[in-house]
Amino acid sequence: MADCPLCLPSPPDRVLWSDAQARVILVDQSREQHVFPGFCRVIWTDHTQEMSDLNVSERYHLMDLVLDVEQVLRTVLQPDKINLASLGNVVPHLHWHIIPRWQDDSHFPDAIWATPPTGKPATNSAIIQARLALVSRIQPELVKQRLKRQAARTPIC
C-alpha cells in the first residue's frame, strides 16, 4: 500500500536481516527523547494486517524470526527483560516490536510508549552509550542464528 510506512523501509532504519517474507530492522531512535538500545522491529513483507491472515508455514517463519531476534538481543545486550509487542493500532501492517529493557531505563517497568514514571532518575548516559556500542554486534549474531536455524531444517542427503 502506497501510504503504509512499513511497506517500504524508511531510510533511517537499518535493515539487519531480510528474506522474501520479512525483514528485521534496528529502529532509528535518533529523534527520540528516550533511547532503548537494540530496539528491533520484525516486519512482514506483504501488507498483511493480522497473524491469523498468515498460513501455518508463514506463522512459523515469522515467529521463528521474532524468537531469533529475541535470543540474539538477550545474548548480545544481556537486558533484564525483553518486551515483545504486536499492536498495529496505528499502522495496521503485521509487525513485531522486540525491545530490550533494563530496570534502569527511563520507563521501566512500564511500556516504552507510556509516560515515564515520575521521580525516576534518568539512565546514566555512559550506560546508554555502552549499550549502544554493543548494538553493532546484533546483525552478525542474527545472521549466524538464522543460518544455524536453516541448517537445522536442511535434511542431510
| Domain spans in the chain, listed from the N-terminal domain onward | 14-153
Report pLDDT for 29. 83
Report pLDDT for 90. 87
pLDDT, one tens digit per residue, over 43-66 is 999 999 999 999 999 999 999 999
Report pLDDT for 83. 98
pLDDT, one tens digit per residue, over 127-147 is 989 999 999 999 999 999 999
pLDDT band with cut points at 50, 70 and 90 for residue 5 = confident
Distances (CA, A) of 31 to 6, 27, 58, 131, 143: 18, 11, 34, 18, 28
Report pLDDT for 133. 92
pLDDT band with cut points at 50, 70 and 90 for residue 157 = low
Q: What is the CATH number of domain 14-153?
A: 3.30.428.10
pLDDT band with cut points at 50, 70 and 90 for residue 13 = confident
pLDDT band with cut points at 50, 70 and 90 for residue 156 = low
Q: Which pTM does this prediction carry? A: 0.90
**Type of residue numbered 95:** H
Residue scoring higher pLDDT (120 or 14): 14
